[in-house]
Amino acid sequence: MAGRMGGSTAPRLKDVAEAAGVSVKTVSNVVNGSVHVAEETRARVQQAIDSLGYHPNVMARRLRTGRSGVIALAFPELPSPYFAELAVEVIAAARRHGCTVLMDDTAGDPGAELRIASGLGDPMIDGVILSPLGLDQAELVSRERPIPLVLLGEADFGPVADRVHIDNVAAARAATQHLIDQGYRRIGAIGWQDPSPRATAQQRLLGYTQALEGAELPVEQALFPPVRSYFRPDGAAAMRRLLKLPDRPEAVFCFNDLMALGAMRAAHEAGLRVPEDIALVGFDDVEEAEYAIPSLTTIAPDKTKIAEAAVGALLDRIANGYTEPSRMITPGFRLVVRESSRRR
């Protein structure tokens, strides 16, 4: 008989248990996404699963537990590095609980978001993590299949579902205060949308204005020109508008890193040096921020904690239902100071 190492027989729960030095029950708990497993044990079991190439039988697990271990994750702008990096963290967090993640990009379309929030009509999906952009509360309440749901982002949907987001007002205020502390007094902002489909824009503008008002600096509408979207070309276009002002800003806070990188390019094309002639701060701490020239000062949301909180809350709802009121979970952030904002 060919041995298991020869690949003729698929690895079993028993094989994973022996490799990890735990019981079959413990392996089953990890595979089924139980929250009642120590993280060190879970990591050891997951390492054995990965090493052996063990794949749970989804249909068998569904029949045994009523759950498939499959969750859905959807973002409005998956090409955005922030969402791509957060998706990696969510997948890793789900894997630690023995779950598989199906991904989708809604492009901010309310119909697509509602379909995702209803579990795509697929009974194999146990729950959903969704970052909504176009959906409103009434639509969410009326969804066809009210499966366990966790929302990511700033939009407030009331007691419909658990929500995970950072304090955007405090983070934007910290970014702007950093520029004030560096001695800049005329500070612009890039990221406002009017009318705004994003709570992000509203909250980050509020933090920006709070910092200026706290320092008794003027808040001028000309200093925060509206943008169409949150990508590099939008940041570049907004920076060009700011640089045409009779009294251009000394520094600019951008509501995400992509717009900050676009703004940096526009400043370079105008013959300005960053930060000697104009300073920049972004938001999201995407990988590109660290490797830009100059490197970009930015707000770094704790993506690992956001992912862990979202997956943990979803699995809790899958296991226990909505016996408790919906929760708002607020992971932390930090200001990462790099070259783009430092006084030379």
pLDDT tier at 342 (50, 70, 90 boundaries)?
confident
pLDDT above 70: residue 292: yes
Return the CATH number at 15. Answer: 1.10.260.40
∠ CA 174-276-211 to the nearest 5 degrees? 20
For residue 4, the model assigns a pLDDT of: 44
Asked if residue 196 is part of any domain, the answer here is yes
Contact 249, 281 (CB under 8 A): no
Asked if residue 60 is part of any domain, the answer here is no
Distance, CA of 68 to CA of 313 (rounded, Å): 17
* Top mean-pLDDT range of 106-120, 136-150, 272-286: 272-286
Is the domain of 160 the same as that of 306? Answer: yes
- Segments forming the whole domain that contains residue 12: 4-55
Q: What is the pLDDT of residues 178-230, one digit of tens each?
A: 999 999 999 999 999 986 666 889 999 999 999 999 999 999 999 999 999 99
Asked if residue 85 is part of any domain, the answer here is yes
- Is 6 or 109 the better-scoring residue by pLDDT? 109
Q: What's the distance, Cα to Cα, between the start and end of the chain in Å?
A: 72
Is the domain of 295 the same as that of 172? Answer: yes
For residue 2, the model assigns a pLDDT of: 37
pLDDT above 90: residue 36: no
Is the domain of 296 the same as that of 172? Answer: yes
Is the domain of 192 the same as that of 313? Answer: no
Alpha helices per DSSP H over the chain: 13-20, 24-31, 39-52, 58-65, 81-96, 110-117, 137-141, 168-181, 199-214, 232-243, 257-269, 287-291, 303-320
Is the domain of 312 the same as that of 273? Answer: no
pLDDT above 90: residue 321: no
Is the domain of 278 the same as that of 258? Answer: yes
Mean pLDDT of 10-22: 81
Q: What is the pLDDT of residues 50-76, one digit of tens each?
A: 787 776 655 445 544 555 689 999 999
Asked if residue 339 is part of any domain, the answer here is no
Tokens 């016996």 correspond to what residue? 323
Distance, CA of 91 to CA of 301 (rounded, Å): 17
Asked if residue 264 is part of any domain, the answer here is yes
Kindly state the percentage of the chain with pLDDT values over 70. Answer: 90
For residue 83, the model assigns a pLDDT of: 95
Asked if residue 340 is part of any domain, the answer here is no
Is the domain of 184 the same as that of 263? Answer: yes
User: What amino acid occupies position 5?
Assistant: M
Mean pLDDT of 334-338: 98
Number of domain units in the chain? 3
For residue 331, the model assigns a pLDDT of: 96
Mean pLDDT of 166-181: 97
Q: Assess whether the previous peptide bond of 294 is cis (omega < 30° from 0).
A: yes
Q: What is the pLDDT of residues 234-289, one digit of tens each?
A: 999 999 999 999 999 999 999 999 999 999 999 999 999 999 999 999 999 999 99
Is the domain of 296 the same as that of 231? Answer: yes
Is the domain of 173 the same as that of 152? Answer: no
pLDDT above 60: residue 118: yes
For residue 3, the model assigns a pLDDT of: 41
Tell me the pTM: 0.80
